[in-house]
Amino acid sequence: MAPQPASAATRKHRRSSRPLPQCLSILVLALAASGITVGSAQLSSEDYYDGSCPAALFTIRSAVATAVLLDRRMGASLLRLHFHDCFVQGCDASVLLDDTASFTGEKGAGPNAGSLRGFDVIDNIKMLLELLCPQTVSCADILAVAARDSVVQLGGPSWTVLLGRRDATTASASLANSDLPGPTSNLNALLNAFANKGLSSTDMVALSGSIRDSPTAGCFVPVSSPPSSSRAAFVPVRAGAHTVGRAQCKNCRARIYNDTDIDASFAASLRGSCPAQAGGAGDAALEPLDASSPDDFDNAYFGNLLARRGLLHSDQALFDGGATDGLVSAYASDADRWGGDFAAAMVRMGSISPLTGTDGEIRVNCRRVN
Ligand code: HEM
């Protein structure tokens, strides 16, 4: 079933340029005017664990804050973990399962092996939550909340995470290989990968990018053009996915040595740390996805694309003479529009085919079925 759009009420983020009370008044007025209903047909609102595990959200937030303090890149890694969970069988924590005799898990799949990080952080959170409220908080919900909290921790926006996901009892390496888009994808392949999950081209561009600064940064802004069939969303401006984190040389080598739609000095500087020869230790050399500010949710990513400085072939594909060029340019100059689309897309991505009700289970250990 296609993910349900939902409202994404937001909170201030670190670099707020307006006092919180003013932002809150705007939000309250806007919510009242719109008659928003938070939630989707399947997932519940963020107070889902208030009765059964009141410390759940605080516990996740604290653990994420500590993890990001120790290793700032971990914020990016946890965000990506949620994406790689949701695109394979839906947001069901299948990505966390180790291989068993009956199935080969997703950790060893092409897009994940030697690349996905953050499993230990999720294990620690789960261990704490099992002590506080046994078998109550799902691993899939932990991933969704940890992704949002990571973004906030890196200075990005916040949104309401819908809760009530349950955990899968199986995982699929082959679906991970087929359903996750790759770094050499062209625009059509990217659009198809997202369309297959019920996500639009706008969702695809918005989730990958970040925005230029805005006079309203740090405050709540209404979505200027809500996605079709969506309830209105209210989101802060400024954020993005490939505005943080790193990619390995093996994933950008072809681009920096062969692509022609790349800024020459950018390519030359990358060649210094990413050797042309495949198969050696250089394969794992790390390059920032956003060279301007690798560990902050800031406004550089779309500017990078306009300057032909996208690190991955799939990044530059968003601005390469194709159908999404206009959207990239629009986001580069209209922070509010981008902000609305980004938060709405995160809520939609987090709502891809969740297990709810009596489906699946609440795992005791995120790495194993009960
Ligand atoms: C549009 C299709 C996408 C493609 C082709 C893609 C591909 C990639 C690749 C190849 C890497 C580097 C992995 C490595 O070298 O080890 C990466 C990193 C990353 N991706 Fe994406 N990605 C896409 C969309 C997304 C989305 C939708 C999100 C989140 C909402 C996301 C979040 C991230 C983050 C945060 C990192 C850095 C992770 C880290 O440093 O640990 N990506 N992506």
- Going from the N-terminus, what domains does the chain have, and what CATH number goes with each? 20-241+332-349 (1.10.520.10)
Ligand 1 pocket member 207 (CB < 6 A):
yes
CA distance 119 to 108: 13
Please name the residues in contact with 141: beta carbons below 8 A apart, sequence gap of 6 or more: 48, 49, 161, 163, 164, 165
CA 312 to ligand 1: nearest atom: 10
62 is in an annotated binding site: no
Tell me what the mean pLDDT of segment 91-104 comes to.
96
Detail the DSSP E strand segments found in the chain.
220-222, 234-236, 246-248, 286-288
Please report the pLDDT score of residue 185 as a whole number: 96
123 exposure class (CB count in 10 Å sphere: 0-12, 13-18, 19+) = middle
Ligand 1 near 210 CB (within 6 A): no
Q: 248 CA to middle of ligand 1, Å?
A: 11
DSSP secondary structure letters along 219-251? SEEE-SSPPTTPPP-EEES---STTS-EEEHHH
Q: Which atom of ligand 1 is nearest to the CA of 183?
A: 5
Q: Which of 209, 59, 176, 49 is nearest to 108 (CA)?
A: 176
Task: Using pLDDT thresholds of 50, 70 and 90, give the confidence band for residue 242.
Answer: confident
Is residue 84 flagged as an active site residue?
A: yes
The answer on whether 354 is annotated among ligand-binding residues is no
User: What is the distance in angstroms between the CA of the first residue and the CA of the last residue of the chain?
Assistant: 26
With cut-offs at 50, 70 and 90, classify the pLDDT of residue 112.
Answer: very high
The type of residue at 274 is C
Residue 130 in this model has a pLDDT that exceeds 60: yes
Can you give the pLDDT at residue 174?
A: 97
> In 33-78, where do the E strands start and end?
none
Q: State whether the beta carbon of 78 lies less than 6 angstroms from ligand 1.
A: no
Higher per-residue confidence, 332 vs 212: 332
For residue 242, how far is its CA from the centre of ligand 1 (angstroms)?
A: 6
Task: Assess whether pLDDT exceeds 80 at residue 124.
Answer: yes
> Tokens 């939630």 belong to which residue?
39
Q: What is the mean pLDDT of residues 117-135?
A: 98
Q: What is the dihedral of CA 308, 310, 311, 316, to 10 degrees?
A: -100
Residue 242, annotated as binding a ligand: yes
Q: Which of 49-53, 211-215, 287-291, 318-322 shows the lowest mean pLDDT across its residues?
A: 211-215
pLDDT of 17 reads 31
pLDDT of residue 34: 32
Pocket of ligand 1 contains residue 61 by CB under 6 Å: no
181 lines ligand 1 (CB under 6 A): yes
From ligand 1's centre to the CA of 199, what distance in Å?
17
Residue with the two structure tokens 């069988």: 89
Q: Where are the alpha helices (DSSP H) in 259-324?
A: 264-271, 301-306, 313-316
- Give CA 343 to chain center in angstroms: 10
Please tell me the distance from the alpha carbon of residue 305 to that of residue 195, in angstroms, as a whole number: 22
C-alpha distances (whole Å) from 218 to each of 145, 256, 339 are 20, 35, 11
| Strongest mean pLDDT among 25-34, 35-44, 151-160, 270-279 | 270-279
CA of 351 to the centre of ligand 1 (A): 19
Quote the ligand 1 centre to 99 CA distance (angstroms). Answer: 23
3-class DSSP state of 199: coil
Q: Which of 91, 107, 104 is nearest to 141 (CA)?
A: 91
Task: Check the annotation: does 290 bind a ligand.
Answer: yes
Tell me which residue has tokens 């809500």.
226
Q: Residue 163 phi/psi, 5° resolution?
A: -125, 170
pLDDT at position 147 = 95
Total residue length of the chain: 370
What is the reported pLDDT for 25? 29
Question: According to the annotation, is 313 in a ligand binding site?
Answer: no
Q: How far apart are CA 131 and CA 200, in angstroms?
A: 40
| Mean pLDDT (whole number) for 179-205 | 96
As given in the structure block, the two tokens for residue 49 are 């664990």
pLDDT value, residue 6: 35
Averaged confidence pLDDT in the chain? 81
Q: How far apart are CA 200 and CA 190, in angstroms?
A: 10
Q: State if residue 328 touches ligand 1 by the CB under 6 angstroms criterion.
A: no
